[in-house]
Chain A
Amino acid sequence: MSQVPANLKYTKEHEWVRLDGNRAYVGITDFAQHELGDIVFVEIPEVGAELIAGETFGTVESVKTVSDLYAPLSGKVIEVNQSLIDHPELVNTATYSEGWMVLVEMSAAEDVNDLMDADAYTSHLGE
């Protein structure tokens, strides 16, 4: 069974969001990392990049395949997880902690309303 922590928000494209005031940490879910398998490259934008909710902002590549990352909300990237350059496997091993990808300063607080809570995401996985 995939882990779906109760304190996070989710998208149907399998990103997770940890809200911290008007900031949000973004990563991919346990389900997503498991489907991808061993992750070897994470391509994410630089600090200052503007994300638009629902649009692609990077890619995550495993031995098996490559997948786009979709922005869960709009805003400016204020920090990127540099550790993923040398240790992309953190996405597999520490999915909801050190495996985070970008920290975003939200430009539209209402974007949060479009995210799923843990229960909704769990049932999305079951569909």
Chain B
Amino acid sequence: MTELRRTPLFSLYKKYGAQVVDFAGYEMPVQFSGIVAEHKLVREKAGLFDVSHMGEIEVTGPGAGAFIQKIITNDLIKILPGQAQYSPIANDKGGTVDDVLVYCLNEDEYWVVVNAANREKDWEWMVSHQPENAGVTLRDRSDEIAQLALQGPLAETILQKLTTVDLSQIRYYSFQTNVNVAGVTSLVSRTGYTGEDGFEIYMDASQAMSVFEALMEKGALFGLEPIGLGARDTLRLEARLPLYGHELLDDISPLEAGLGIFVKTAKFDFIGKDALLSQKENGLRRKIVGFEMKDRGIARGGFQVFGPDGPIGFVTSGTFSPTFNKSIGLAMVELSYTEVGTEFDIEIRGKKARAVVVKTPFYKRAKA
């Protein structure tokens, strides 16, 4: 049993009344005041998340761009310095190694932000595919970089109180480096994992506490509160954002997960291209769909899905949607069960409960 890791903000959790759980090897806050209240706060006002467990792998050198282009399925050509791009990383069979955010700091300097659970795996994957003598240097900076997420309709208003940089100039999926946030040099990007407007703020781990507390202090007037991983999960699920380990796995392709727009098979070459191209050409046999429960209960990840003649798939994630007051989820099912309106059964603790396929995302914010 390895010892659990802690983020630089761990000592603050108690002060804000967190319940702490093991998540991806980290002691993380699952909730503060309660998942439903925290969820609604992010939808209506703003919430502050410690997401320092996420990993940051720095890729530098003249070959950095070409190397990342080779390992991601999205097309890095489309972004410029100051922009971020979401992408799956595929394996040779077309399965998914991880889904990451690539930050282009300069033409020869990138950050690849990876899931905490995959940090070691991604590192090894990248090192094993690192070309020799191509001018690519990799550095795992996860322990020295902390990350906060400030999410919700009031996120910009709150963050603007702590910086002179005009945040309205930071567009969706763009970022700025060297932003002074409450006296701390930070990277501020307009990204998130909640379906709301908001920012992800990266800074030196040793400074994270002072930024967190400054945000809490300035945000108090706007109702800002800390948010745990429980609400992070319900928020991302309503917005149908995938979570590695659930919607994405080594044997689930990004196409099956519904991430086709991030798989650019027209691009010159990348790991997994042949397998993904053949999936595209031959058609998928299964796909992830959104469902809503018609019967009572929550269909959680791993539960089996049944058609009239037997098993047709499994639930990848399921929860109770605080926004809609309904039980919702995502399931990987055979293609013939993926049309909106199709019904199937999900086995919940030995009993079959009815569910219906619905359009996703479950939640989409109104454009300002």
- Give A contacts to B, CB under 8 Å: 35, 37-38, 40-41, 43, 59, 61-64, 66, 92
B91 within 8 A of A: no
Pairwise interchain contact B319-A63, C-beta atoms closer than 8 A: yes
- B365 interfacial by beta-carbon distance below 8 Å: no
In the bound complex, what is the Cα–Cα distance between A88 and B319 (angstroms)?
A: 16
When the two chains form their complex, are residues A43 and B320 in contact, meaning their CB atoms are under 8 A apart?
Answer: no
Name the residue on A nearest B230 (C-beta).
A64
Bound CA–CA A43/B348 (angstroms) = 12
- Asked if B234 is at the interface (CB within 8 A of a chain A CB), the reply is yes
Contacts of A40 in B (CB 8 A): 298, 320, 327
Are A37 and B298 touching (Cβ within 8 A)?
Answer: no
The one of B19, B36, B230, B298 that contacts A66, using a Cβ cutoff of 8 Å: B298
Which B residues have a C-beta under 8 Å from some C-beta of A?
A: 19, 30-31, 34-37, 230, 234, 296-298, 300, 319-320, 322, 327, 349
Instruction: Report the minimum CB–CB distance from B363 to chain A (whole Å).
Output: 15
List 19 extra interface pairs beyond A64-B230, A92-B34, CB under 8 A: A35-B19, A37-B19, A38-B34, A38-B35, A38-B320, A40-B320, A40-B327, A41-B297, A41-B320, A43-B296, A43-B297, A59-B349, A61-B298, A62-B35, A63-B35, A63-B36, A63-B234, A63-B298, A63-B320
Tell me the complex Cα distance, A31–B38, Å.
Answer: 20
User: Is A64's CB under 8 angstroms from B31's CB?
Assistant: yes
A-B contact pairs, 19 of them (CB 8 A): A35-B19, A37-B31, A38-B34, A38-B36, A38-B37, A38-B320, A38-B322, A40-B298, A40-B320, A41-B296, A41-B298, A43-B297, A61-B298, A63-B230, A63-B234, A63-B298, A64-B31, A66-B349, A92-B34
Residues from chain A with a CB closer than 8 A to the CB of B319 are 63
**CB neighbours of B30 from chain A (8 A):** 64
Most buried by A among B19, B34, B319: B34
Nearest 5 CB-CB pairings of A with B: A38-B36, A40-B320, A63-B35, A63-B320, A38-B35
Q: Are B297 and A61 in contact (CB under 8 A)?
A: yes
Give the docked Cα–Cα distance between A35 and B35 (Å).
12
Nearest residue (CB) in B for A42 is: B296
Question: Residues of A contacting B37 with CB < 8 Å?
Answer: 38
Asked if A37 and B230 make an inter-chain contact with CB atoms under 8 angstroms apart, the answer reads yes
Within the complex, the shortest CB–CB distance from B237 to chain A, in Å, comes to 11
Known contacts: A63-B234, A63-B319. The answer to whether A37 contacts B296 by CB under 8 A is no
A63: B residues at CB distance < 8 A: 35-36, 230, 234, 298, 319-320, 322
CB distance from B231 to the nearest CB of A (A): 9
In whole angstroms, how far apart are the Cα atoms of A50 and B35 in the complex? Answer: 35
Interchain CA distance A63-B325 in the complex, whole Å = 11
Question: Cα distance A38–B319 when bound, in Å?
Answer: 12
Are B297 and A37 in touch, CB under 8 angstroms? no
B298 to chain A minimum Cβ distance, whole angstroms, is: 6
State A35–B30 Cα separation when bound (angstroms).
11
Q: How far is the CA of A41 from the CA of B30 in the complex (A)?
A: 20
Contacts of A35 in B (CB 8 A): 19
